[in-house]
């Protein structure tokens, strides 16, 4: 049996250091704020990792400086904007570029919180991995939605909240003039990154099938949060939820598998496990042709790149790794899956299929789009009911994808992985410039709603990706393949900071 060998393209160092392709150098006029006699001196941001300023897989102070709330605060002239900063190389460790080999690797060392003695609540209360429910209820790593729903702790809650009450309580204590709220992404993201294995937050209230705890669904959680935020009598800008299948996390590996199948002259489709397939009762039924992979009718996750070179081999690599993660012998794991035969060609035979955890099938993609649309209707209704400014983040990202990119201050930004300038090396979170563009979108929404004029961030001043490796100072670092990010993302997905 033939097997395919995937060689992933190196990333050009120059393209990575430049955040976006520069097409022109227009004169950018410096504009001043005009608040029409209104005052904005206290600004608080509520949200998740996109608010916290996560980049390239980690929370790290060099990146947190460019979080969209920090950039917005600087545009407002706010001198003090506290954030739960983390020293290099971040938590989790960030991904960096080695300009000598043009490869991306995970930085070595140990990052640590370095602003824990900040004498009051942080102004940036973005909690990585937080859901909507968390902003009103979570107080610790084991009293949050993730813990109650899946039985998994979230140490980011402790990092941000420091035992001083919920995110909303800490925001309210600051009596802000302006609040931004961007939440809900993690209510669906875990479903997407896990290949559909972890359920999204239900719309209606529900009981966790894992812990038996009764929890608010998305609708009641978001509306309760919106009502609380409205009670602060501040200017409020909210953003809705982008289609989480658009970022490059889902667009890199599939076409490369298709190209490798074609180059190896293998006519067989990728045999994969659908979300409805049970390897306990029978073989996998999913089949993805080269066209399916190229046209994104199925979506292979970036973590799947770690297993792509196994396609066509008689191997149980995936099951060995899965057993190790679960802490059980591989024989015990395979005993629960009698339909699996690892002597068959991995990814080309229904008895050794590409695993469901590393792919979204058409039904799962449709579920993501339906759930996201339902969430966004709730967010729009809340914004309308309470008179909030609304940034349509979903339309923004779809426009970037459908229009081939976005021009900002003379630079073209696209949704391409690594070289597009908008997304960082984890394929989900934004770059410095990406967060600057988001800050400008929030500014546009605030200006339009409240009849003021906050000046835009100059994107040319915030270009850049992950820090570039200084080889001489760290000569023994191990290089990693571009797609090997399983140390940042749980094998079953969803654990993004």
End-to-end Cα, the chain, rounded Å: 40
Share of the chain above pLDDT 90, in %: 81
The answer, as to whether pTM is greater than 0.75, is yes
- Residue 319 CB-density burial (10 A; 0-12 exposed, 13-18 middle, 19+ buried): buried
> Taking residues 438-465, what's their average pLDDT?
93
**CB atoms closer than 10 angstroms to residue 327:** 6
The mean-pLDDT minimum among 31-35, 90-94, 412-416, 436-440 falls in 31-35
Sequence-ordered strand ranges (E) for 150-261 = 178-182, 206-207, 214-215, 235-239
pLDDT at residue 5 above 50?
Answer: no
- Residue environment code for 216-244, b if the CB has 16+ CB neighbours within 10 A, otherwise e: bbbbbbbbbbbebbbebebbbbbbbbbbb
- Cβ-count burial 267-306 (b if 16+ within 10 Å, e if not): ebbbbbbbbebebeeebbebebbbebbeebebbbbbbbbb
Q: Where are the domains of the chain?
A: 14-248+365-473, 253-360
pLDDT of 195 over the 50 cut:
yes
Share of the chain above pLDDT 70, in %: 87
Nearest to 88 by CA among 474, 494, 417: 474
- Burial label, 470 (beta-carbon count in 10 A; 0-12, 13-18, 19+): exposed
Q: Which value, to the nearest 10 degrees, does the dihedral of the CA atoms of residues 131, 132, 135, 136 take?
A: -130
Which one, of 466, 494, 478, 458, lies nearest residue 26 by Cα? 458
Q: Which string of DSSP letters, residue by residue, matches 310-339? A: GTTS---HHHHHHHHHHTS-HHHHHHT-TT
Sign (positive or negative) of CA dihedral 226, 228, 233, 235 = negative
pLDDT of residue 477 exceeding 60, the answer is no
Give yes or no for residue 482 having a pLDDT over 60.
Answer: no
For residue 337, is pLDDT > 50? yes
Reported confidence tier of residue 98, pLDDT bands at 50, 70, 90: confident
Interval 113-130 mean pLDDT:
97
What average pLDDT is seen over the chain? 89
Mean pLDDT of 58-83: 97
CA distances from 248 to 260, 423, 427 (A): 19, 8, 5
Place of tokens 């420091």: 162
Find where tokens 């997304």 sit.
Answer: 423
Q: Residue 31: pLDDT band by 50, 70, 90 thresholds?
A: low
- C-alpha span between 325 and 63 (Å, rounded): 30
412: enclosing H helix or E strand:
strand 411-413
Distance CA(244)–CA(188), nearest Å, equals: 8
* pLDDT tens digit sequence for 276-310: 999 999 999 999 999 999 999 999 999 999 899 99
Of the listed ranges 12-16, 46-50, 328-332, the one predicted with least confidence: 12-16
Q: Each residue of 384-407: pLDDT tens digit?
A: 999 999 999 999 999 999 999 999
Has residue 480 got a pLDDT over 50?
A: no
The token duo for 467 is 């820090």
Tell me which CATH code domain 14-248+365-473 carries: 3.40.50.1110
Q: What is the mean pLDDT of residues 84-91?
A: 97
* Least-confidence region, from 21-30, 74-83, 371-380: 21-30
Continuous H helices in 83-217: 132-137, 145-150, 155-161, 167-173, 186-193
Contact 251, 296 (CB under 8 A): yes
pLDDT digits (tens, 9 = 90+) for 46-67: 999 999 999 999 999 999 999 9
pLDDT at 30: 54
Does residue 1 surpass a pLDDT of 70?
A: no
């Amino acid at each position: 049996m033939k097997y395919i060998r995937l060689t992933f393209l190196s990333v050009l160092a120059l393209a990575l250091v430049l955040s976006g392709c520069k097409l022109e150098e227009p004169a950018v006029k410096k504009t001043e704020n005009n608040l029409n006699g209104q005052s904005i001196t206290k600004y608080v941001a509520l949200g998740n990792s996109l608010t916290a300023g996560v980049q390239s897989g980690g929370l790290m102070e060099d990146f947190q400086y460019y979080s969209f709330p920090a950039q917005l605060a600087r545009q407002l002239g706010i001198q003090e904007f506290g954030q739960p900063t983390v020293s290099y190389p971040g938590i989790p460790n960030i991904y960096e570029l080695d300009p000598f080999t043009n490869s991306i690797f995970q930085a070595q060392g140990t990052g640590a919180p370095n602003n824990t003695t900040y004498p009051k609540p942080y102004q940036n209360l973005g909690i990585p991995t937080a859901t909507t429910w968390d902003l009103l209820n979570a107080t610790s790593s084991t009293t949050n939605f993730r813990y109650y729903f899946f039985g998994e702790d979230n140490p980011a809650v402790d990092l941000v909240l420091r035992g001083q009450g919920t995110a909303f309580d800490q925001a309210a204590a600051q009596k802000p003039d302006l609040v931004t709220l961007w939440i809900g992404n993690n209510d669906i993201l875990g479903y997407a990154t896990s290949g559909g294995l972890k359920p999204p937050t239900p719309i209606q209230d529900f009981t966790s099938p894992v812990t038996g705890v009764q929890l608010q669904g998305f609708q009641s959680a978001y509306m309760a949060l919106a009502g609380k935020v409205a009670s602060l009598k501040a200017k409020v800008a909210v953003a809705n939820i982008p289609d989480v299948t658009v970022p490059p996390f889902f667009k890199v590996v599939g076409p490369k598998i298709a190209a490798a199948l074609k180059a190896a002259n293998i006519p067989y489709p990728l045999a994969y496990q659908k979300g409805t397939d049970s390897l306990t009762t029978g073989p996998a039924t999913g089949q993805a042709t080269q066209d399916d992979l190229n046209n994104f009718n199925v979506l292979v996750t970036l973590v799947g790149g770690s297993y792509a070179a196994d396609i066509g081999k008689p191997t149980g690599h995936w099951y060995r790794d899965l057993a190790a993660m679960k802490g059980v012998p591989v024989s015990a794991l395979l005993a629960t899956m009698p339909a699996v035969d690892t002597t068959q060609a991995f990814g080309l035979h229904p008895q050794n299929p590409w695993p469901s955890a590393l792919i979204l099938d058409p039904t799962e993609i449709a579920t993501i789009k339906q759930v996201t649309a339902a969430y966004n209707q709730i967010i729009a209704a809340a914004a309308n009911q309470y008179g909030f400014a609304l940034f349509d983040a979903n339309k923004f990202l779809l426009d970037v994808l459908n229009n081939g990119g976005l021009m900002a201050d003379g630079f073209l930004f696209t949704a391409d992985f690594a070289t597009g300038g908008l997304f960082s090396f984890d394929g989900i979170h934004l770059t410095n410039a990406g967060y600057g563009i988001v800050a400008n979108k929030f500014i546009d929404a605030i200006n339009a709603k409240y009849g003021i004029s906050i000046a835009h961030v100059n994107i040319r001043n915030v270009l850049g990706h992950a820090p570039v490796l200084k080889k001489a100072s760290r000569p023994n670092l191990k290089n990693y393949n571009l797609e090997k990010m399983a140390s940042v993302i749980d094998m079953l997905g969803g654990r993004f900071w």
